[in-house]
Structures are given as structure tokens and as C-alpha cells.
Structure 1
Amino acid sequence: MNTIIFRTVAPYLAALMIMFSIFVLLRGHNEPGGGFIGGLIAASAIAIYGISAGVEEVRKALVFHPVTFAGFGVFMATISGFMSLFVDAPFLKGLWLFIELGDGSELALSTPMMFDIGVYFVVLGAISTIALALEENEEGH
């Protein structure tokens, strides 16, 4: 299945899937989506790129090992839970910070979004690690 058409289209498809996964991640609290589904889409993009270009090329493109992404995600999710303890609220209580922008609108930052971003990275790292390990076994076979 590793045709010239697939090898040509796969990097663009992977980039488009990564952008879509970020869109799904950011709209997750107000509409369907979120960190888990966004992470699955991003991991699928990495797997598609890995099938077309090979595992070594994917590892160069990612810069960090996929397990590092998972560890960073666990760290972010944990920090989002502990932030509520600084304001005498229960663990994982949702907190919002509204930042005024110059044009009269507001930017809302929240601990639920931080938790979702953590879940995104955990899923991305875990599934990418599994996919790359399976592809390495397939290449070596």
C-alpha cells in the first residue's frame, strides 16, 4: 500500500489531521469533541505519516519521544487539578480567568481546558508509542 501517491499525499493529510485535531480539542467543552478525540485524530495522523515515510522519519519529525508527550499530558492534567487548591476549592474544581483584549472582547482561560489539553497529550503520546512500536515490528519483519 506504500504507493507513490500515498507517500506524496500522506504528509499533507497528516498536517491537515493535526490541525483538525486541534480544532476538535479547542471546541470540546461547548460542543462535541475534546482532548480524547483530538488526541486520537492526532495519533492517527502520526500513524499515517509513519506508514508512508517510516518510523525513523516520524521520530525525527516529532523531535521528542511520544512517551514524553504522554508524561507532559499527565503533568498538565495534574497541575490543572492542584490549581483549585490555591483558592480553597476542591481538587479539580473548574476555575476561569478572563483576560480583557483591546477590542472589548475577553479571552477565557480555564482549568477544564488545561485538563483537556493534558488528556490530548496523554492520548497522543500513548497511541503514538503503540503505533510506532507496531510499525517498527512490521518493518523489521
Structure 2
Amino acid sequence: MMKPGTIILYTAARFLVPLQLLFSVFLLLRGHNEPGGGFIAGLVAAGAFTLYLFTFGAAVTRDLMRVDPRNLIGIGLFIGMLSVFPAVLQGQPFLTAQWWPIMLPGGTEIKLSTPLIFDIGVYLTVVGATMTMVIALTEAEER
């Protein structure tokens, strides 16, 4: 296992990775209304995993991710494709946005939408593609 970092890097990575992942979810959820979205959020999440990779090595990062990055690409593409069906099933043009209001306990209303479903697919695809490349480059360097 590769351990090139310092104690400061180890400590910082353990605090920064969860914060970066939380920020990536924030960017994902606000993305279709304001700047952000699936692509930028996916890059921020990939940056978090890359920091962890450079600190603790490829094997530990694969364990942290729990899902092979190549599988994330397929899952993301599948979820992105799911976002087209609600409009088609309602006889509307391809990729027309659909919104579904949902009441949460306490009287708060949130609106789930097909743009959010599409952004989640993009998010997973970007994280998967980026981490596949970075892990492959790191493992090639370790050989």
C-alpha cells in the first residue's frame, strides 16, 4: 500500500473528504435552479476521492468507494436514461421536465423532478469516469 503523505495530509484528508462530498451533494441538489449541477458536483466528489487516493492509496480508496468506478458509469447512464420516460409516457416531447411535489413531515414540500434524476445520472457517470482514469493511472504508476 502506498503511503507517501505526511501526518498533516492524513489528518486533513480525513476531515476534507467528507466535507467535499457533502459540498458535492449541495451542488447537485441546487444545480438545476442555480449554478452547479451533476457535472460540477461529480467533479467535486471525484476530487474528494482523488485526495483520499493520493493520501492512502488505490486499494484503500476502492474500499472507501464500495462500488467499482466502472459500475458507477453504467449506473449513472442508466439513471440518466430513466429521466426521459416520464415525459414520453405522458405524451410530451422527449426530455420535457416533469415535477412531482412531495409533502414531508412538518408540512414542508419538496419537488422531485426529471432534471434532478438526469443530474444524478450525470453525477454518477462523472465520478465513475474520473475515478476510473485516476485509479488506473495510480495503479500503473505503482507497478
TM-score, structure 2 as length reference: 0.92
Tell me which amino acid in the other structure corresponds to 2:131.
S
Equivalent in the alignment of 2:126: 123
Equivalent in the alignment of 2:86: 83
Tell me which amino acid in the other structure corresponds to 2:132.
T
1:10 aligned to which of 13, 16, 19: 13
Per-residue CA deviations over 1:18-52 (Å, capped at 9, x if unaligned) read 11000011110121100000000000111110000
Relative to structure 1, the CA distance from residue 101 to residue 3 in structure 2 (aligned partners, 3 Å threshold; closer, same or farther) is closer
Distance across 1 between alignment mates of 2:104 and 2:7: 48
Deviation at 1:102, TM superposition (A): 4.2
Tell me which amino acid in the other structure corresponds to 2:97.
G
Equivalent in the alignment of 1:68: 71
Equivalent in the alignment of 1:30: 33
Deviation at 1:94, TM superposition (A): 0.3
Distance across 2 between alignment mates of 1:137 and 1:125: 18
Tell me which amino acid in the other structure corresponds to 2:45.
A
Tell me which amino acid in the other structure corresponds to 2:93.
P
Distance across 1 between alignment mates of 2:11 and 2:61: 15
Distance across 2 between alignment mates of 1:11 and 1:131: 19
Distance across 1 between alignment mates of 2:35 and 2:81: 23
Distance across 2 between alignment mates of 1:105 and 1:127: 36
Tell me which amino acid in the other structure corresponds to 2:107.
G
Deviation at 1:65, TM superposition (A): 0.2
Deviation at 1:107, TM superposition (A): 1.4
Equivalent in the alignment of 1:46: 49
Structure 1's unaligned 5+ residue stretches are none
Count of residue pairs the alignment pairs up: 140
TM-score, structure 1 as length reference: 0.94
